Amino acid sequence: MSRKLSPGGWLKRILLRIVLVLAVFWGGGIALFSILPVPFSAVMAERQISAWLSGDFGYVAHSDWVGMDEISPWMGLAVIAAEDQKFPEHWGFDVAAIEKALDHNERHENRVRGASTLSQQTVKNLFLWDGRSWVRKGLEAGLTLGVETVWSKKRILTVYLNIAEFGDGVFGVESASQRYFGKPASRLTMSEAALLAAVLPNPLRFKASAPSGYVRSRQAWIMRQMRQLGGEGFMERNNLM
């Protein structure tokens, strides 16, 4: 005779099944997207659903996938200079940056600073949702380790550049380059790449099409960092091209 489960038992069984489904989904995604183009990301899905719920049925969240050989080396260098200068060295996490961010956040509660690497940002954009909950951060950490184990650094950078949000409805460097400069991503200059990287912290607030003084100053800072890293030679030395 079968034993009836209590409400708590049913809840545990349901949660276990959800966890197993998500594990298969995320694990399969990491494996598949190590070689296949990414058709859409969690952020794209979130933006698309929000648009539909608000009655905007003309909004289409998508990116035009391009390989790293179709992206200007300046673009990869720009996002590394702006977001994660230790990208070629770490295994998904910049411990020193995390410690600095924690110290800053303790002293400045109203000005929270993040320390996410490009690997973490790629995972969040591809698989997860916005927010600062410990659940999301925990999932992000686990998935980042998985991505760093299976993917090369070049692959992580390629996926990041293809799913990053560069403006309202503008996803991926190819779409951004065509929208803002009228040319393919392969022809982006150092200055143009730095401008696109400058809006990444908040692409819905900062505009590549109408850059504010802050965006221009950030663009100039990124260009200085790009030169200090060694220019295009940095990308070649670290097998990122």
Written as six digits, the tokens of 20 are 């197993």
pLDDT at 28: 75
Residues pairing with 219 in the sheet = none
Q: Maximum distance among all alpha carbons in the chain?
A: 73
> Exposed (0-12), middle (13-18) or buried (19+): which is 79, by Cβ within 10 Å?
buried
Number of domains within the chain: 1
198 assigned to some structural domain: yes
Measured at the CA of 155, the angle between CA 150 and CA 161, to 5 degrees, comes to 135
pLDDT by residue for the chain (241 residues), tens only, comes to: 445 656 666 665 665 666 556 566 677 789 889 999 999 899 999 999 999 999 988 888 889 999 999 999 999 999 999 999 999 999 988 888 766 755 544 554 555 455 699 999 999 999 988 777 777 888 889 999 999 999 999 999 999 999 999 999 999 999 999 999 999 999 999 999 999 999 999 999 999 999 999 999 999 999 999 999 999 899 999 999 8
Q: Is residue 5 part of a domain?
A: no
Domain assignment of residue 6, yes or no = no
State residue 222 phi and psi, 5-degree precision.
-60, -40
Does the residue 203 lie in any domain?
A: yes
Is 119 within a domain? Answer: yes
With respect to residue 25, please indicate whether it lies within any of the assigned structural domains. no
H helical segments located in the chain: 7-32, 42-53, 73-83, 95-107, 118-127, 134-150, 153-163, 173-181, 190-198, 213-229, 232-237
Tell me the one-letter amino acid at 107. Answer: R
CATH number at residue 129: 1.10.3810.10
Residue 20 lies in a domain: no
Candidates 154, 127, 150; CA nearest to 138 is 127
Residue with the two structure tokens 């997207």 = 33
Residue 27 domain-assigned? no
pTM here is: 0.86
- Domain membership of residue 221 as a residue range: 37-238
